[in-house]
Amino acid sequence: MNAWDTNVLIRHLTEDEPEQLSIARAELAKSQRRGEPIWISLIVLIETAWVLSAYDLNKSEILNVLDSVAADPRFQLEHGSLMTEAIKQSRKKGDLPEHLASLVANRSKIEKTQTFDKALKQFASFEVL
Protein backbone atom coordinates (compact mmCIF):
# COMPACT_ATOMS: atom_id res chain seq x y z
CA MET A 1 0.00 0.00 0.00
CA ASN A 2 1.19 3.51 -0.80
CA ALA A 3 0.26 6.79 0.85
CA TRP A 4 -0.29 10.09 -0.89
CA ASP A 5 1.03 13.46 0.13
CA THR A 6 -1.27 16.47 -0.08
CA ASN A 7 0.11 17.66 -3.41
CA VAL A 8 -0.75 14.35 -5.12
CA LEU A 9 -4.28 14.32 -3.68
CA ILE A 10 -4.77 17.95 -4.73
CA ARG A 11 -3.72 17.14 -8.31
CA HIS A 12 -6.22 14.26 -8.34
CA LEU A 13 -9.02 16.44 -6.96
CA THR A 14 -8.46 19.69 -8.85
CA GLU A 15 -7.06 18.36 -12.14
CA ASP A 16 -5.16 21.65 -12.45
CA GLU A 17 -1.74 20.34 -13.50
CA PRO A 18 -2.20 17.92 -16.43
CA GLU A 19 1.25 16.32 -16.22
CA GLN A 20 1.05 15.68 -12.48
CA LEU A 21 -2.60 14.62 -12.79
CA SER A 22 -1.57 11.96 -15.29
CA ILE A 23 1.07 10.62 -12.89
CA ALA A 24 -1.34 10.63 -9.93
CA ARG A 25 -4.04 8.82 -11.91
CA ALA A 26 -1.50 6.25 -13.15
CA GLU A 27 -0.46 5.56 -9.55
CA LEU A 28 -4.10 5.25 -8.54
CA ALA A 29 -4.71 2.76 -11.37
CA LYS A 30 -1.65 0.71 -10.33
CA SER A 31 -2.95 0.65 -6.78
CA GLN A 32 -6.36 -0.53 -7.98
CA ARG A 33 -4.78 -3.33 -10.05
CA ARG A 34 -2.98 -4.51 -6.91
CA GLY A 35 -6.24 -4.35 -4.99
CA GLU A 36 -4.76 -1.88 -2.54
CA PRO A 37 -6.24 1.49 -1.65
CA ILE A 38 -4.12 4.61 -1.37
CA TRP A 39 -3.66 5.55 2.30
CA ILE A 40 -4.49 9.15 3.22
CA SER A 41 -3.44 10.51 6.62
CA LEU A 42 -5.44 12.93 8.74
CA ILE A 43 -2.72 15.52 8.29
CA VAL A 44 -3.02 15.26 4.51
CA LEU A 45 -6.81 15.64 4.71
CA ILE A 46 -6.60 18.74 6.91
CA GLU A 47 -3.93 20.24 4.67
CA THR A 48 -6.08 19.41 1.63
CA ALA A 49 -8.99 21.31 3.15
CA TRP A 50 -6.71 24.30 3.71
CA VAL A 51 -5.31 24.17 0.16
CA LEU A 52 -8.79 23.86 -1.34
CA SER A 53 -9.79 27.09 0.41
CA ALA A 54 -7.18 28.82 -1.78
CA TYR A 55 -9.12 27.52 -4.80
CA ASP A 56 -12.05 29.69 -3.67
CA LEU A 57 -14.12 26.75 -2.49
CA ASN A 58 -16.41 27.55 0.41
CA LYS A 59 -16.66 25.44 3.56
CA SER A 60 -19.56 23.35 2.30
CA GLU A 61 -17.82 22.61 -1.02
CA ILE A 62 -14.61 21.61 0.78
CA LEU A 63 -16.51 19.29 3.12
CA ASN A 64 -18.26 17.75 0.10
CA VAL A 65 -14.88 17.09 -1.54
CA LEU A 66 -13.55 15.48 1.64
CA ASP A 67 -16.74 13.42 1.94
CA SER A 68 -16.18 12.15 -1.60
CA VAL A 69 -12.61 11.12 -0.73
CA ALA A 70 -13.85 9.36 2.42
CA ALA A 71 -16.49 7.48 0.40
CA ASP A 72 -14.11 6.51 -2.42
CA PRO A 73 -13.02 2.87 -2.01
CA ARG A 74 -9.77 3.67 -3.80
CA PHE A 75 -8.66 5.48 -0.65
CA GLN A 76 -8.18 4.34 2.93
CA LEU A 77 -8.32 7.17 5.43
CA GLU A 78 -6.41 7.20 8.68
CA HIS A 79 -9.17 7.06 11.31
CA GLY A 80 -11.79 7.31 8.58
CA SER A 81 -14.71 7.18 11.00
CA LEU A 82 -13.28 10.13 12.94
CA MET A 83 -12.88 12.15 9.74
CA THR A 84 -16.43 11.36 8.68
CA GLU A 85 -17.75 12.44 12.10
CA ALA A 86 -15.60 15.61 12.06
CA ILE A 87 -17.03 16.51 8.63
CA LYS A 88 -20.56 15.92 9.93
CA GLN A 89 -19.99 18.12 13.01
CA SER A 90 -18.29 20.82 10.94
CA ARG A 91 -21.41 21.14 8.82
CA LYS A 92 -23.25 22.27 11.98
CA LYS A 93 -20.72 24.71 13.51
CA GLY A 94 -17.00 25.13 13.88
CA ASP A 95 -14.14 24.12 11.65
CA LEU A 96 -12.93 20.71 10.59
CA PRO A 97 -9.53 20.83 12.39
CA GLU A 98 -11.22 21.72 15.69
CA HIS A 99 -13.65 18.85 15.48
CA LEU A 100 -11.02 16.39 14.35
CA ALA A 101 -8.70 17.43 17.20
CA SER A 102 -11.51 16.95 19.71
CA LEU A 103 -12.48 13.54 18.30
CA VAL A 104 -8.88 12.35 18.38
CA ALA A 105 -8.61 13.57 21.97
CA ASN A 106 -11.83 11.73 22.87
CA ARG A 107 -10.43 8.54 21.37
CA SER A 108 -7.46 9.02 23.73
CA LYS A 109 -9.88 9.15 26.69
CA ILE A 110 -9.73 12.97 26.98
CA GLU A 111 -13.11 14.28 28.08
CA LYS A 112 -13.05 17.88 26.90
CA THR A 113 -11.16 19.97 24.40
CA GLN A 114 -10.83 23.51 25.68
CA THR A 115 -11.36 26.34 23.24
CA PHE A 116 -12.12 30.04 23.03
CA ASP A 117 -14.45 29.42 20.05
CA LYS A 118 -17.94 30.18 21.35
CA ALA A 119 -19.50 28.51 18.28
CA LEU A 120 -18.48 25.15 19.73
CA LYS A 121 -20.43 25.46 22.99
CA GLN A 122 -23.23 23.23 21.63
CA PHE A 123 -20.84 20.26 21.39
CA ALA A 124 -20.40 18.19 24.54
CA SER A 125 -16.76 17.39 23.75
CA PHE A 126 -15.75 21.08 23.98
CA GLU A 127 -15.36 23.36 26.96
CA VAL A 128 -15.50 27.02 25.97
CA LEU A 129 -13.18 29.06 28.18
Regions of the chain with pLDDT less than 50 = none
Query: For the residues of 66-99, what is the DSSP string, one character each?
Result: HHHHHH-TTEEETTHHHHHHHHHHHHHSS-HHHH
Give pLDDT, residue 29.
97
Q: Considering the entire predicted model, what is its pTM?
A: 0.88
What does the alpha-carbon distance between residue 55 and residue 63 come to, in Å, rounded to a whole number? 14
What does the alpha-carbon distance between residue 33 and residue 38 come to, in Å, rounded to a whole number? 12
CB 45 within 8 A of CB 36: no
In the chain, % of residues over pLDDT 90 = 91
Q: First and final CA of the chain: distance in angstroms?
A: 43
Kindly list the domain boundaries of the chain, sorted by start residue.
6-128
Average confidence score pLDDT of the chain: 94
Give pLDDT, residue 94.
86
In the chain, % of residues over pLDDT 70 = 100
